Amino acid sequence: KRKIIIDTDPGQDDAVALFLALASPEIEVQAVIAVAGNVPLARTGENARRILEMAGFPHIPVFCGAPRPLQTIQTTAEHVHGPTGLDGIDLSVPPAMPLQTRNGVMYLIEAVRNAEPGELTLVMLGPLTDLALALTLAPDIAERICEVVLMGGAWSELGNITPAAEFNIYADPHAADIVFSAGIPLVVLPLDVTHQCLTLPERLAALRANGNRCSDAAVDMLSFSERFDLAKYGWKGAPLHDPCTIAWLLQPDIFGGRHVNVSIETESSLSLGMTVVDWWKVTDRKPNALFIRDVKADAFFELLTTRLATLP
């Protein structure tokens, strides 16, 4: 079993990623850390607990990490996810499980130190603030982390929040710079991949046909975030971003990429948060990430649908 900690800003696609992880026996989710991202921290902390409860995992601890990015002005994405971050499902009843009182960054440091070297994998689904803070306060944890699997960045698909940048990296470019410079093995699932994973009507219908509450919630949430995306891209479905990280852990053979250097733009106001990917190896900068660009999208949705069927 692979032990993971998920750092997340739910977010409908974050929620579906949590479902996929919880539904997968190959993975043990040790804790969830909420970070400010799609919506402010109070919301993401509440939303994460809601999703764990819905999936029947209220015993997994949820922590709150950083409330804002390291240096830039906070950017949120209510225009995609709605004011709650999880628009599309009934949110009238607040979650019953408690939020842990310990700060998520302090927890993360302790969790990595308490684990065996190489035992813990970190899955990052939002801005990289929490991990950047942890690495700054406790640089010794870098060599103890097995791998960081993150959704963020773009090469051929470029930006979704500015013309040059993807949201998770743009929302805290200085944090991303720290993470990409830390020497930890990184697996990056960028827009190049997630823009191939479209929530086409027939894929949502297959998920709906599962007939259980979590699959229903997934379809309801994805149908909401689709409203904006369909108009934006003109595609027949919206990109499904964050679950790609969990799918990579489960079935890496349906993805393809290269070990390359990825550097983060932190200075230019025009291209702040851009992932500068040396895909063709035209510099002597050392590879620091497995940058994924290919995915078998049908296999990905098949995996998602069969796994979500096993939840309540």
Of the residues 59, 81, 195, 241, which is catalytic?
Answer: 241
Q: Please state, in angstroms and rounded to a whole number, the distance separating the CA atoms of residues 72 and 215.
A: 37
Count the Cβ atoms, other than its own, within 10 Å of residue 259.
Answer: 13
How far apart (Å, rounded) are the C-alpha atoms in residues 266 and 74?
15
Q: Determine, following the binding rule CB under 6 A, whether residue 178 of this chain makes contact with ligand BDR.
A: no
- Interacting residue with ligand BDR among 21, 108, 120, 151 (CB under 6 A): 151
Q: Smallest gap, in angstroms, from Cβ of residue 252 to ligand BDR?
A: 20
HSE-CB of 192 using CA atoms within 13 angstroms: 19
Binding mask 120-149 for ligand BDR (x = CB under 6 A): -----xx-----------------------
**Is residue 241 annotated as a catalytic residue, yes or no?**
yes
Whichever of 109 and 192 has its CB closer to ligand BDR, that residue is 192
> Helices 129-137 and 104-114 sit at what angle, rounded to 10 degrees?
60
How many residues of this chain bind ligand BDR (CB under 6 A)?
Answer: 15
Instruction: Verify binding: residue 6, Ca ion, rule CB under 5 A.
Output: no
Q: Which does 160 bind (CB under 5 to 8 A by kind): ligand BDR, Ca ion, none?
A: ligand BDR
User: Nearer Cβ to ligand BDR, position 77 or 122?
Assistant: 77
In angstroms, rounded to a whole number, what is the distance separating the alpha carbons of residues 260 and 105?
28
The two structure tokens encoding residue 146: 């097995």
Q: Which of 29, 62, 80, 308 binds ligand BDR (CB under 6 A)?
A: 80
Which among 8, 32, 24 is positioned nearest to 249, based on CA atoms?
24
Cα–Cα distance measured from residue 201 to residue 297, given in angstroms and rounded to the nearest whole number: 14
Question: In the complex, what is the shortest distance from the CB of residue 265 to ligand BDR, in angstroms, rounded to a whole number?
Answer: 16
Q: How far is the CB of 15 from ligand BDR (least distance, A)?
A: 9
Tracing tokens 């990015």 back to the chain, one arrives at: 69
- Check if the beta carbon of residue 310 is closer than 8 Å to that of residue 299: no
**Binder of ligand BDR out of 242, 263, 275, 305 (CB under 6 A):** 242
| Nearest residue to 134 (alpha-carbon basis) of 158, 113, 108 | 108
Three-state DSSP class for 6? strand
Residues near Ca ion (CB under 5 A): 9, 11, 14, 125-126, 242
Residues near ligand BDR (CB under 6 A): 11, 13-14, 38, 77, 80, 125-126, 151, 160, 166-168, 241-242
Q: Which residues are catalytic?
A: 241
